[in-house]
């Protein structure tokens, strides 16, 4: 009979999980067991605390569905998502840095031409984001696809709005021969992460700000290059120093200049005041 004690239980559990047939799974599970046991010992976890944690995990599962991923949100606010992004995208310092994908990217966004409007009637101040996509040697990347998405000025993505079925505030733009791109959208605002679930319950028991600074998301996939998932943030935006998901990076902060009605970057004109941001993305070749 195996005699289990407080002193030998970690070793026994590690031995058991080391039998995973996939060597990487064995490595992951044995390390997880060691760290979980170490955590419980360090804080002298009580049974009531253990039960509260189990119930919290259950609620996180129950509130999740194909549009809401509470466990990913938990990973985001704990800084785990961003740590994993950084460890797995150690790019050249001259390349545009990566950030979290977030839960609101969807496949199949409409393809728009240079400077075409992805806001499609959603109210807001017109924003033009333009620049080039280049490689580390400065060569233009032609035909690169920029998948772009953002929240509306109330901070909502369509999946959060019960009466919005169709995709909005998202589009795919393709770079021209000179690597140039031009996105026409609306100026984003800072917004709160979903606070009506177990992640929100925990955050509310802290002094943590539950807001993200104003940003636009980009996923840039170009054959032969490292895929880039990133955001552009508005310079001077609130919450830049306290992004609840740790996604901000200095290199991704862009000045949004106010412009009077008149000529716009794609060759059109705006009858109303608009805002302009210029940003050159730098991609690293796949090694």
* CA gap 210, 212 in Å, rounded: 7
CB of 259 to ligand BEZ, least distance (A): 26
* DSSP of 171-227: EEEE--TTSEEEEEEE----EEPP-SSHHHHHHHTSS---EE-SEEEEEEE-TTB--
Given candidates 134, 184, 212, 225, which one binds ligand BEZ under the rule CB under 6 A? 212
CB of 86 to ligand BEZ, least distance (A): 15
Residues listed for the chain: 287
DSSP helix/strand/coil, 28: helix
Closer to ligand BEZ by CB, 20 or 101: give it.
101
Which residues between 61 and 80 bind ligand BEZ (CB under 6 A)?
A: 73, 76
CB of 168 to ligand BEZ, least distance (A): 14
Closer to ligand BEZ by CB, 133 or 193: give it.
193
Closer to ligand BEZ by CB, 172 or 176: give it.
172
Total of residues contacting ligand BEZ (CB under 6 A): 9
CB of 215 to ligand BEZ, least distance (A): 6
* CA gap 52, 64 in Å, rounded: 19
* CA gap 203, 23 in Å, rounded: 36
Which residues between 119 and 148 bind ligand BEZ (CB under 6 A)?
A: none
Which residues between 213 and 252 bind ligand BEZ (CB under 6 A)?
A: 245
Q: Which residue is nearest to ligand BEZ (CB)?
A: 102
Closer to ligand BEZ by CB, 66 or 137: give it.
66
Closer to ligand BEZ by CB, 226 or 243: give it.
243
Contact letters for ligand BEZ, residues 81-120 (x by CB under 6 A): -------------------x-xxx----------------
Residue recorded with tokens 């996105």: 183
CB of 191 to ligand BEZ, least distance (A): 8
CB of 72 to ligand BEZ, least distance (A): 7
* CA neighbor of 191 nearest in space, from 255, 220, 254, 234: 234
* CA neighbor of 283 nearest in space, from 170, 131, 151: 131
* CA neighbor of 147 nearest in space, from 181, 187, 190: 181
Question: 68-87: b or e for each residue (b if 16 or more CB lie within 10 Å)?
Answer: ebbebbbbbbeeebbeebee
Task: Let me know: does 190 contact 244? Beta carbons within 8 Å.
Answer: no
CB of 208 to ligand BEZ, least distance (A): 13
* 193 touches ligand BEZ (CB under 6 A): yes
Residues forming the site for ligand BEZ (CB under 6 A) = 73, 76, 100, 102-104, 193, 212, 245
């Amino acid at each position: 009979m195996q005699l289990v004690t407080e002193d030998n239980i970690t070793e026994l559990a590690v031995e058991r999980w080391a039998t995973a047939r996939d060597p990487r799974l064995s490595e992951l599970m044995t390390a997880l067991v060691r760290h979980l046991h170490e955590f419980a010992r360090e804080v002298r976890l009580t049974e009531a605390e253990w039960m509260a944690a189990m119930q919290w995990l259950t609620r996180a599962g129950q509130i999740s569905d194909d549009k809401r991923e509470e466990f990913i949100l938990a990973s985001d606010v704990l800084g785990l998502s961003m740590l994993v992004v950084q460890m797995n995208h150690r790019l050249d310092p001259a390349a545009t840095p990566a950030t979290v994908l977030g839960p609101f990217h969807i496949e199949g966004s409409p393809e728009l031409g240079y400077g075409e409007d992805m806001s499609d009637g959603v109210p807001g101040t017109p924003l033009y984001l333009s620049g080039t996509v280049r490689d580390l040697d400065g060569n233009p990347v032609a035909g690169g696809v920029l998948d772009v998405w953002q929240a509306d000025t109330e901070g909502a993505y369509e999946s959060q709005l019960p009466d919005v079925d169709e995709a909005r505030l998202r589009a795919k733009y393709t770079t021209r021969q000179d690597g140039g791109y031009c996105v026409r959208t609306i100026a984003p605002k800072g917004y709160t992460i979903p606070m009506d679930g177990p992640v929100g319950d925990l955050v509310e028991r802290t002094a943590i700000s539950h807001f993200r600074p104003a940003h636009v998301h980009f996923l840039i996939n170009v054959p032969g290059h490292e895929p880039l998932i990133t955001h552009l943030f508005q310079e001077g935006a609130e919450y830049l120093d306290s992004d609840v998901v740790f996604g901000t990076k200095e290199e991704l902060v862009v000045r949004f200049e106010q412009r009077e009605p008149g000529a716009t970057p794609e060759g059109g004109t705006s009858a109303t005041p608009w805002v302009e941001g210029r940003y050159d993305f730098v991609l690293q070749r796949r090694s």
